[in-house]
Amino acid sequence: MPDKPLFLERASFHRRRLGDAARVLPVLSALLVLLPVWWAPALVSFAGGVLWFFLLWAGLILAVWALHRALLRAEAATIRASEAVAAGQSHPGTGAQSHPAQGDARRNAGDSPDAL
Amino acid sequence: MPFETLLAICLAYVVLMFVVAFAADRAAARGHVRWLDHPLVYTLSLSVYCSAWTFYGAVGYASRSGLEFLTIYLGPTLVFTGAWWGLRRLVRVARMHHVTSVADLVSARFGKSNRLAALVTLIAIIASTPYIALQLKSVSLSFEVFATDTPAAPIINGATLGGTAGWVAAGLALFTILFGTRNLAADERHHGVVTAIALEAVVKLLAFLALGVFVVWGLADGPADIMARIARAAEAPENAEGWLLRADRWTVLNIVAAAAILTLPRMFQVMVVEAADEERLTIAGWAFPAYLFAMSLFVMPIAVMGRELLPAGANPDLYVLTLPASQGQDMLAMLVFLGGFSAATSMVVVCAIAVATMVSNHWLVPLWLAMRKTPGGETTDLRGFVLNARRLAILAVMAAGWVYHQASEGSAALAAMGLVAFVGMAQVLPAMIGGLLWRGANRKGAYAGIGTGFVLWMALIFLPSIGLGGDLPVAAGMDPWALAVFLSLSANTLAFIAVSIFGFPDPVERLQGLSFVSAIEPIRHSRMTRSDDRAEPLLAMARRVWGPEEALRFFQAEARAQGKSGYLPDLTPRFLTRLERRLGGSIGSATAHAMIDRVAGGIALTVSDLLQVADEAQRAKEETQRLENARAELAVTARRLREANDKLTALSVQKDAFLSQISHELRTPMTSVRAFSEILKDPSLTPEERTRFAGIIHDEAGRLTRLLDDLLHLSVLESGRAQLSISVANLHDLINRALSAASATRPERSFLIDRDPSSEHLGIVTDADRLLQVLINVISNARKYCDAERPVLILRVRNLEAEGVIIDIIDNGSGIDSGRQTLIFEKFARLNDPARAGGAGLGLAICREIMAALGGDISYLPGQGGAAFRIRLPKRPPVGTAASGSSAA
């Protein structure tokens, strides 16, 4: 199994960025829901509020739908890409043997943000 | 509509639910779970969030407080926008630990502490009882609407109506017991209940949408008209004040609703416990917000139209029923009634299952086990007890809800109960989120946080809501309710974090913390004896929980996975972990942990065990790494060996060739010596002829001697016995001498010599005669083998600080092909042309040995446009060579 490389190929890079988007989305939506009420309660309390909140809501549903679809596709693409790499890589060069050990150590360090 | 018809339709609907649940359970038992496991069914089952409180109450809420009702739906939507990384992780970790309830999750994370689970269970019961009462009230209220509507049903009086809630509670208890406690599965899933709830979700949604469409396009003139009416209604003096959103309330309500979707027992049940895996959340992530969107789209229109069309005294909470009824839409009213009935019943059923699981797992079973500590009690059937405890708990929860409903009959306090329950369960949220994200969170912190939150919630929110105690004294302009929620949640979080920071968790807790935060498989400690004399008691214990067949099947499968036959696997950490988690799936992690410990002799896990676990993992990792390195080394060694083998084979072939060559070389002069010696015997020879023949014999003998000298010379050099006479010499002079000496080789060829005399004037400290020998040899080789039309010989000398003196000798012939470059310095090597070479193939081998003795080396330079040799000479000869050489000689 190939170890985690330092730089990612296109497919997994894309998937990571979509993952970042998935983390940002809740924060963004919370701000869009909460801030207008703090700033201009009179504007979003009546008929204007009905429009704003329901349009925002529909937008959020569509955003989550599109994001999840893209993430699922990106995951499938990443799996395909890693399978292709695994198939194409019969014997890694002997000179590169010391690098996986470093990569391994780095990944383990990254897995435990607060080691106890 | 006659009351009897209503009752009949209602009963028919209940029968349909029973049939659907029964069919789904049967299909699941036969293994037909494909459509039962569909993400759509899962999403619909999540709609148990929309209880009767939201079905009827949202419109009432909207007509009193305007858009504030949206918070109840927007909060969960915000949570679901984080479904991909948040909820999926929660479900994955919970499934990994076979968590049975929200209390079990918290308890499992914080060291499988049953007391913590019991505390969460207590909060759940206090919060749920009034909430269930609210559902019962909504059903009896909706019955009342039809009863008072129909003067043709005089037999329906107050007493009978009071009994409606009782009948409903009894029916729901029956349904819940039938389909919620059929078996004690290891994964706590209830296909029948979930499918029935999914169907009820569809009924609920269709009813509300149908009413909404009727209101917007039947009573009003479409969306534009509705918007205009909302704007007009907002201008009414009481609404201008009441409908204005308040930022503090808005924020707190959103947070509370977001917390509720994670912590309410019924939501945890359908979202986490009933989920087959976390992948369905990729669909539910947008489909559930869409469901909530559809459920709330028509709330405002119904509220506005109800205000306009119904008499001023009408209860806004019942607009959804009274509005179609007042317009003569009996069928629509009936559908809405069924929708509300569905909302109430699905909430009560799931809530009862969830709370009853908690009560039985965290109160009754531990109590029962503690009371029967004697070994004699171990033979009893625990499975039957757990199921009965659950049935009892369901009855108790239903009865408590009904009693509460009867006791608070007529009071308006119930309406607020939904939010009060939300806030109560939200007190679990800090410990839950902290436990999933922060390894430093510990049990004492969880106790402190949940305890603080619980006390504040009771004092500031729950008791005031049932009329005990008053509101907080707050500054003007601040909402007392929002402040109370904010106070309880922030004190909870602060206590949780502060106590966690100063506490030190016990080892089990640290193991669980690692497993929860990193979402990796938990490891049970390996202190337990590895012999199988304890496997049998464990099997007996599992049989008591799962029944004999299932226990045997599990143990056999585990034994087979270890490569053993029979039913008793080795007590490996892996097996114990799996056994404990599966047991935990039936009776809760704390109880399962305690039971296994008891059978195994109750050895407590210590810090050193924990370190040992970490050690084992570390060792396994190192072993893998070592093997990986060894593999790489082997590959390198194999390559070297292969190269050495190729070289040896080539050398062997050369040696054979040389042997025939050397015999030929020795034989030729010997033959002439013998032949001319014979001739010399002839007395008739003239003196001139005699002299000539003797000269030939002399020359041939000289050739033989030279050959033998070379061989001897080489063997002396190779054995390191060479004697060096070190002196100072000018390299320019040496090269001159070498060129003139070498010109004797093939004198008929004239070479163009390209050299740079200025760089050659270098004083070198070395054995000048030996170096000269090397130079002559290399230059002669060039003269011998250079096959160019106009031969050119390039000599370049460089004096490098680091490497010493470099002498490059390059001709413009065809050079040596790469396959042979490594062989030319070997003994007996000679390029395929014995006739032209005329030597024994020892020259370059001797050169190499001489240069090694001088502390330098000679190498072939590829890619220079011809044969190119580089001679490297160090600044000083190696110390001690001369001395040792002379002493050896």
Q: What is the ipTM of this complex?
A: 0.77
> What total of structural domains would you count in chain A?
1
* Chain A, nearest residue to B635 by Cα: A94
Per residue in B432-484, pLDDT (tens digit) is: 999 999 988 999 999 999 999 999 999 988 888 777 776 667 666 778 888 99
Q: Which of B67, B254, B509 to mutate to test the interface with A (most CBs of A within 10 A)?
A: B67
The pLDDT of B577-606, averaged and rounded, is 74
CA atoms within 13 A on the CB side of B714: 19
Query: Residues B642, B656: one domain?
Result: yes
Query: Residues B703, B730: one domain?
Result: no
Q: Which residue has the higher pLDDT, B106 or B239?
A: B106
Query: Residues B735, B683: one domain?
Result: no
Element (H, E) at B727: strand B727-730
- Asked if residue B506 is part of any domain, the answer here is no
Query: Residues B201, B251: one domain?
Result: yes
Of these ranges, A58-62, B1-5, B730-734, B752-756, the one predicted with the greatest mean pLDDT is A58-62
The CATH number linked to B143 is: 1.20.1730
Residue B188's nearest CA partner among B241, B265, B120, B123 is B265
Whether the pLDDT of residue B604 is over 80: the answer is no
CB distance A94–B78 less than 8 Å? Answer: no
For chain B, the helix, strand and coil percentages under 3-state DSSP, each to the nearest 5: 70, 5, 25
CB distance B66–A45 less than 8 Å? Answer: yes
pLDDT score recorded for residue A5 = 56
Query: Residues B648, B562: one domain?
Result: no
- Asked if residue A5 is part of any domain, the answer here is no
What SS3 class is residue B626?
helix
Whether the pLDDT of residue B835 is over 50: the answer is no
Per residue in B699-728, pLDDT (tens digit) is: 888 878 877 887 788 778 777 777 788 888
pLDDT score recorded for residue B44 = 93
What SS3 class is residue B719?
coil
Per residue in B503-516, pLDDT (tens digit) is: 888 877 888 888 88
Q: Which two tokens stand for residue B478?
A: 């601040």
Query: Residues B791, B666: one domain?
Result: no
CB distance B518–A22 less than 8 Å? Answer: no
Q: Which residue has the higher pLDDT, B885 or B404?
A: B404
- What's the CA gap between B184 and B547, in Å, rounded? 9
Provide the residue range defining the domain that includes A48: 10-89
- Asked if residue B878 is part of any domain, the answer here is yes
Q: Which two tokens stand for residue A46?
A: 């009546």
The CATH number linked to B628 is: 1.10.287.130
Query: Residues B622, B544: one domain?
Result: no
Q: Find the angle CA(B589)-CA(B595)-CA(B597) to the nearest 5 degrees.
A: 100
Cβ-Cβ contacts under 8 Å, A25 against chain B: 81-82
The pLDDT of B549-557, averaged and rounded, is 84
pLDDT score recorded for residue B463 = 86
Query: Residues B765, B703: one domain?
Result: no
Whether the pLDDT of residue B834 is over 70: the answer is no
Q: Are B107 and B117 in contact (CB under 8 A)?
A: yes
User: Which of B68-82, B123-137, B268-282, B609-623 has the least mean pLDDT?
Assistant: B609-623
Which residues in A83-114 are b (16+ Cβ under 10 Å) and which e?
Answer: eeeeeeeeeeeeeebeebeeebeeeeeeeeee
What SS3 class is residue B797?
strand
Q: Are B243 and A46 in contact (CB under 8 A)?
A: yes
For chain B, report the end-to-end CA distance as a whole number of angstroms: 131
Q: Which of B225, B250, B302 to mutate to test the interface with A (most CBs of A within 10 A)?
A: B250
Provide the residue range defining the domain that includes B246: 3-404
Minimum-distance CB partner of B77 among A49, A57, A94 = A57
Cβ count within 10 A of residue B398: 28
Is the CB of residue A110 less than 8 Å away from at least one CB of chain B?
A: no
Query: Residues B704, B832: one domain?
Result: no
- Asked if residue A28 is part of any domain, the answer here is yes
- Among the candidates B688, B716, B744, a domain finishes at B716
Q: How confident is the model at residue A109 (pLDDT cuts 50, 70, 90)?
A: very low
Give me the helices (H) in B746-838, please: 757-760, 768-785, 818-821, 834-837
Which residues have C-beta within 8 Å of that of residue B772, sequence separation ≥ 6?
A: B734, B737, B738, B741
Is the CB of residue A64 less than 8 Å away from at least one CB of chain B?
A: yes
Residue B730 β-bridge partners: B763
Whether the pLDDT of residue B157 is over 50: the answer is no
> What total of structural domains would you count in chain B?
4
- Asked if residue A33 is part of any domain, the answer here is yes
- Among the candidates B564, B587, B604, a domain finishes at B604
pLDDT score recorded for residue B37 = 82
DSSP secondary-structure letter at B866? Answer: S
Of these ranges, B250-264, B329-343, B666-680, the one predicted with the greatest mean pLDDT is B250-264
Tokens 């005399």, residue located: B757
CB distance B74–A67 less than 8 Å? Answer: no
pLDDT score recorded for residue B328 = 85
- What's the CA gap between B89 and B38, in Å, rounded? 20
Task: Calculate what percentage of chain B has a pLDDT beyond 90.
Answer: 25
Q: Which residue has the higher pLDDT, A88 or B15?
A: B15
- Asked if residue A98 is part of any domain, the answer here is no
Q: How confident is the model at residue A98 (pLDDT cuts 50, 70, 90)?
A: very low
Distance from CA of A84 to the nearest CA of B (A): 22
Residue B763 β-bridge partners: B730
- Asked if residue B428 is part of any domain, the answer here is no
- Residue pairs between chains A and B whose CB atoms are closer than 8 Å: 125
Residue B467 φ then ψ, to 5°: 90, 10
- Among the candidates B574, B604, B634, a domain finishes at B604
pLDDT score recorded for residue B522 = 67
Whether the pLDDT of residue B1 is over 80: the answer is no
Query: Residues B687, B728: one domain?
Result: no
C-alpha distances (whole Å) from B148 to each of A64, B142, B144, B853 are: 46, 10, 6, 121
Query: Residues B109, B193: one domain?
Result: yes
Whether the pLDDT of residue B616 is over 50: the answer is yes
Task: Calculate what percentage of chain A has a pLDDT beyond 90.
Answer: 36
Q: Are B784 and B743 in contact (CB under 8 A)?
A: no
CB distance A23–B243 less than 8 Å? Answer: no
Query: Residues B671, B789: one domain?
Result: no
Q: Are B693 and B849 in contact (CB under 8 A)?
A: no
- Asked if residue A62 is part of any domain, the answer here is yes
- Asked if residue A76 is part of any domain, the answer here is yes
Cβ count within 10 A of residue B52: 28
Starting at the edge strand that comes first in sequence, how are the strands of the sheet with B857-860 ordered?
Answer: B752-755, B792-800, B804-811, B868-873, B857-860
CB distance A50–B245 less than 8 Å? Answer: no
pLDDT score recorded for residue A4 = 54
CB distance B84–A68 less than 8 Å? Answer: yes
Which residues have C-beta within 8 Å of that of residue A20, sequence separation ≥ 6?
A: none
CB distance B254–A34 less than 8 Å? Answer: yes
The pLDDT of B537-552, averaged and rounded, is 80
- What's the CA gap between B286 and B275, in Å, rounded? 16
Whether the pLDDT of residue A102 is over 60: the answer is no
- Asked if residue B442 is part of any domain, the answer here is no
Task: Calculate what percentage of chain B has a pLDDT beyond 70.
Answer: 88
Q: How confident is the model at residue B187 (pLDDT cuts 50, 70, 90)?
A: low
